[in-house]
Structure 1
Amino acid sequence: MSENNPEDEARVTSTPERRVPLARGLSAKLLLLTVVFGLLAEILIFLPTVASYRVTWLKERLSTAAAVSIALVQGDTQSLSQTAQNDVLMAIGAKAIAVRDGGVARLLAVAEMPPQVDEHIDVDHLGLVEEMTGALDTLLFGGNRMLRIFGPVGASPEEFELIMPDYQLRAAMLGYSRTVALLSLLIAVFTAALVYVALDRVMVRPMRTMTRSMLAFSEAPDDQSRIIRPSMRADEIGIAERELAQMQERLQKMLAEQKHLADLGLAVSKINHDMRNILASAQLMSDRLQQVKDPTVQAYAPRLVRTLDRAVSYSEGVLAYGRTQEAPPSRRRVRLRQLVEDVHSLLDLESGIEFEDAVPPGFEVDADAEQLFRVLTNLTRNAVQAMAGDTESAVVRRLTVAAERQGSVGRILVTDTGPGLPAKARENLFTAFRGAARSGGTGLGLAIAHELVRAHGGALELVESRGGRTTFAISIPDQPARLEPAPRGLRRPA
């Protein structure tokens, strides 16, 4: 029985779900947060509202007491029986009513004078903080306290006082609080529903559409119908939809190109496998040709042998491509003029195309001879193919290879007098299958040359390209010198 790998189990359990349940989706979270924030807003409004209700309730009781006091002052308070006073005070809910005029207080009606007063409230000089703390204190701890309420009423110069218990005030505040709480909950739910519907249509649905599009595209990236259809919105979501559509289109093209390259690589590998066998047979025949005493054969045989060796090496490199990277350059000092002559000997120059080797005699470059040969072969062959289309005998068709040294950098210039590169080729100059300068070309030559030059730490660049002159420049820096420490036995004593 095979044992389960704990890492595989952890990886499976940690994989995020591709379908989000409705209860954990953005819509449910949005609805919950809107209700909570709405209730928090109502709670912040609730305390000032209840405080204002408390002050209004007290002022109403004080106004009623003032009206009763005026009637008592105008009448004969001594003739008012205790029963009548109790009825008046009961209607107000007070224990005593008094009026203060010119600093002199006069008790107008009293039912039962309490032994002490727990809180004194001046309704005309209450601040917002005092109102809220007093309301909260009454709601939480009130119900058995005695209050003294005083203050002016209207334009009357007298100040009226009212002594009353707070249980009626607390009962009224509790009833008002329940009403406010119920209304707050209804307002919060209603507001949450409106906000939810608005945000769901404006934000959540487009986000859900983009999420589904990404999931569907990841399942079948080669399906054109799974690319999101962006809306015409001008906000951030509209920009995100258009960018996602463009990204999916680019990714689809990239995957198609990679598949094309993979298929092409497989076909090339098969062809090179058979080509290598054919070239091996050609090598055997070239070895026999070297034994022929004919002077003409002896003159061309070495070149033929070198050409076949290079062809075999290229075939083996193509077979190895995909398993390994391009082999690192084996750099040596190379006489560039002789290498250019070898390139010239392999070019199929049509009648009328001139080749000029302008490399100074003795010019050396620090490079891998075989890789630099491939670079020059690709560049010069492209130049010859570009000039082959000009059939006018008066048109100058010349290919020039020159070289110069700039400090520790060897610079090789390949110039032709062809028609120049088209704009599309210049945009994707060193990209395989996209930087072809002629119809039917693959662009592989420049891509290979660019890769080989970069492996040397150098650069391949298009200096200029116009009708009548196109120049590529190869810059290869010399290898830095390595200073190894001298053996201890050879060091000079201090």
Structure 2
Amino acid sequence: MREPRPDELAQAGEAPATGSRSVDAEVSAGPDRDTSSPARGEPKRKAANLSAAAQVPLSRALSGKLLLFTAGFVLLAEILIFPPSAANFRANWLGDKLSAAAAAGRVLLETAEGPVTDSSRERILRDTGVRFIAVHDDTISRVIAGPDEMLTVDASIDMKEARRPIAAIPETLKTLLSDSERILRVYGTVDGDRSKTYEIVVPEGPLRDGLITYSRNIALLSLLVSAITASMVFFVIMRLFIAPIRRMTKSMIAYSEDPDDRSRVLKPSGRDDEIGVAEDQLNAMQLRLTDALAQQRRLADLGLAVSKINHDMRNILTVAQILTERLERSSDPMVQKFGPRLVETMDRAIAYTTNILEYGKTRERAPDRRRLNLHALVEEVRHVAEIEAESVEFRNEIAPVFEVDADAEQLFRIINNLCRNALQAMSNEADRPGLVRRLTVSARREGAVAFIAISDTGPGLPRKALENLFTAFHGSARTGGTGLGLAIAHELVRAHGGQLELVESRGGYTCFRIELPDAPIQLQARREGRPDGSVDRATS
């Protein structure tokens, strides 16, 4: 066994923990330095900027836009309704004039004992506000009241057409927007009496004045209705939508300032609509993120601790390695028996400390696959296991000629981690006499796939471990455990293209199975006759 050189120790001891930062750089950070979040001030500044940006003026806020849009839409609806309603007002005004003049004319004709005097005619014209009244039936036309001279008429209006709002809209707008003093001739039936047609002549000025007053009243009423409607819609939507959205926004801003504080996680209101679903999802996301950040800090702390341990452990192991080499030269039979195992264990420990930071990286190194005797490798695991748990029966039921295609060091770590977990589970019950404590490793092959089974007679895995079986820091079956053993084994098996699964776990029996396929053979290498299956890069 070779003693490591000082430069190797320095290189291993100064192995980078994360990225380009060295172990000494991590250690020199000091206890007051928050190495898990070196740029912690930057997120706080961003959160402060977000908090300031959240104070949006009413003119640019959703609530202000909602208020303006609602009022605008109500006004637009009133504007669209105004032309037909104004045409209807014009038809009613003309119809009222025609009905009043016809009624006055009938009363005048029915009550007059002699010829109708000029004063009576003038009074009727003045009271009704018209300049001419006539009545027509099937046989005769008669003037009820009017001037002696001929009147010039600018437009004739049939009440049938005037009572059609859509058709009368152009004339209504013409009356409202024109400043000329036109004379209108209006005719039509009154009170459903189709035998007589009444005719009046009326100036357009009073009609325009009435339309202007009506338009002003409609405008004021429209503003009032739009204000009331917008306010009602505003307060309803504010309570149902805007307020919950603001609450979620404030929660996100507060949470971004300190994701570690669980009190800042949004508490769902219990609504069963889309807002409630959004609150539930935001709450779940914030909780997951808080847990993930806590796990990330734990990993960072673990990486720093491992870096420190790795730095010093290499020096300690070097001394132990030197002492072990001296023990090999001892003539003591017991030392001769356990010396080679101790040397082998020390070599493996030094290799582990050299590569211990590999787990903190994105992934383990690629497996260096070779044909291995699985029986011999499991025997190495058994020798180590017997030292740790002498009271457990270790059975190696693998055939002496059974071979697998794998990385020797990584496969040892896989089987060793699984066996150590089983031994620890059964060691916890060492104070209970009469229990069978047995660990069995067996294997079988199906074609190009090797199946390795590791079973024990322990108490079985708890529910918490089953829920997070291969998750680091969550899949531990014992108090104080990290759960890294199963996570590392799972990662290494997947790197070989295989699978690690729990077959069964109950009181008295737990079994894990490793599915390990042989490495695929490169066709080009097979054609060229290379037995190792490698590919010549110069020709591929």
Match of 2:16 in 1: none
- Identify the match of residue 22 of structure 1 among 57, 60, 66: 57
- Identify the match of residue 199 of structure 1 among 224, 228, 237: 237
Residue type matched to 2:242 in 1? Answer: V
Residue type matched to 1:130 in 2? Answer: A
CA contact (8 A) 1:58 1:123 kept: no
Distance (whole Å) between structure 1 residues aligned to residue 141 and residue 445 of structure 2 = 115
Structure 2 unaligned blocks of 5 or more: 1-45, 529-540
Q: How does 1:64-463 map to 2 (within 5 A)?
A: 64-74=100-110, 79-80=115-116, 85=121, 88-102=124-138, 104-111=140-147, 113-123=150-160, 126-141=163-178, 143-156=180-193, 157-289=195-327, 300-319=338-357, 321-322=359-360, 325-347=363-385, 348=387, 350-391=389-430, 392-463=432-503
Match of 1:4 in 2: none
Distance (whole Å) between structure 2 residues aligned to residue 405 and residue 393 of structure 1 = 37
Q: Report Cα offsets for 1:77-101 as digits up to 9, x if no partner.
A: 9944667645543543434322221
How big is the shift at 1:296? Answer: 6.4
| TM-score when normalising by structure 1 | 0.85
CA contact (8 A) 1:121 1:147 kept: no
Match of 1:51 in 2: 87
Match of 1:491 in 2: none
CA contact (8 A) 2:161 2:168 kept: no
Q: Report Cα offsets for 1:14-49 as digits up to 9, x if no partner.
A: x86533333322332222222222222322333333
Distance (whole Å) between structure 1 residues aligned to residue 264 and residue 136 of structure 2 = 86
Q: Relative to structure 1, is the Cα distance of residues 147 and 423 closer, same or farther in structure 2, using a 3 angstrom cutoff?
A: same
CA contact (8 A) 1:124 1:151 kept: no
Residue type matched to 1:427 in 2? Answer: E
CA contact (8 A) 2:153 2:184 kept: no
Q: Report Cα offsets for 1:453-474 as digits up to 9, x if no partner.
A: 1222222111111112111111
Match of 1:7 in 2: none
CA contact (8 A) 2:391 2:437 kept: yes
How big is the shift at 1:236? Answer: 4.0
Aligned Cα RMSD in Å?
Answer: 3.1
Distance (whole Å) between structure 1 residues aligned to residue 75 and residue 389 of structure 2 = 88
How big is the shift at 1:368? Answer: 1.6
SS of alignment partner, residue 340 of structure 1: helix
Distance (whole Å) between structure 2 residues aligned to residue 480 and residue 106 of structure 1 = 117
Larger relative contact order (CA 8 Å, sep ≥ 6): 2
How big is the shift at 1:239? Answer: 4.5
Residue type matched to 2:420 in 1? Answer: R
Distance (whole Å) between structure 1 residues aligned to residue 399 and residue 173 of structure 2 = 100
How big is the shift at 1:426? Answer: 0.5
Residue type matched to 2:177 in 1? Answer: L
Residue type matched to 1:127 in 2? Answer: R
Q: Relative to structure 1, is the Cα distance of residues 139 and 478 closer, same or farther in structure 2, using a 3 angstrom cutoff?
A: farther
Identity between Structure 1 and Structure 2 (%): 49
SS of alignment partner, residue 158 of structure 1: strand
Distance (whole Å) between structure 2 residues aligned to residue 305 and residue 113 of structure 1 = 137
Structure 1 unaligned blocks of 5 or more: 1-11, 488-494
CA contact (8 A) 1:143 1:170 kept: no
Residue type matched to 2:97 in 1? Answer: R
Distance (whole Å) between structure 2 residues aligned to residue 443 and residue 421 of structure 1 = 12
Distance (whole Å) between structure 2 residues aligned to residue 404 and residue 132 of structure 1 = 95
